[in-house]
Structure 1
Amino acid sequence: MISMFTSISFERNFGCMDSFSHSFTDVCKDVLLIPKELVNVSIRVGKLKETFKIYVNQWDSFDVVLQRDPFQNCYFITDGWEKVVHYMGMQTGIVLVLRYVADYIFLLSAFDLNGCDIVAPNPMTVR
């Protein structure tokens, strides 16, 4: 696996989109660590009191909460994250890419160990 995917990676793209990647582990099942730079530069700390949405495809989104851990001076995606994990069937080793595209909105992409997209199920085709 490419070393850039072994930990958090943060990318600032000229103000139009901010993203980060994370290698999924068992620690990520309940909360997901997000870069401080993303919160400080793009999201802004004042917005942390609001609910955010994570879109996993065009038709499904989940409400999540971003919280600051004052003891470790870091930020996490918490309440609601476990629903995203369950819905996507996330397993250790997959790579998550979250893009902050607008106020309170993230887009989630997930890739398996071969680099292939993990596609969220369409509820209209799942029976």
Structure 2
Amino acid sequence: MDQGTKICPNCGTKMAIDAEICPKCGAMQAQPMGGYTTGPTQIQSQVQSRKKTGMFLLWGWLSAVVSLFIPIVGIVSIVLGSLTIKSKRVAAGVVLIVAAVIFIFWGMTGFAQGFFGAM
């Protein structure tokens, strides 16, 4: 059996690895939670995508914190949050965007003055 095929557990027919229904007996085929990976190039692209999304989050949170002092910088954080959502990390992107909006608001209402006034 090669990498692109699997065997139906119901009748033993060889079929394409991504088949959802057996072509011979019609039995539904189980699909793995993470999907199939076909080779090292696909795995490598997934790793690069995760690294890129991690950088979106890192720079997004840094710019969100800076927006407490310079509110206009928060726009960068919102853009990076939307790119994170586009990279299929919806929860992380939404949290970043909400935090950025709150931090921008706090920055516009004088957070920096209160922060440096306490020193």
Return the TM-score normalized by structure 2.
0.24
Higher relative contact order (CA 8 A, sep 6+): 1
More strand by proportion, 1 or 2?
1
With normalisation by structure 1, the TM-score equals 0.23
Larger radius of gyration: 2
Higher helix share: 2
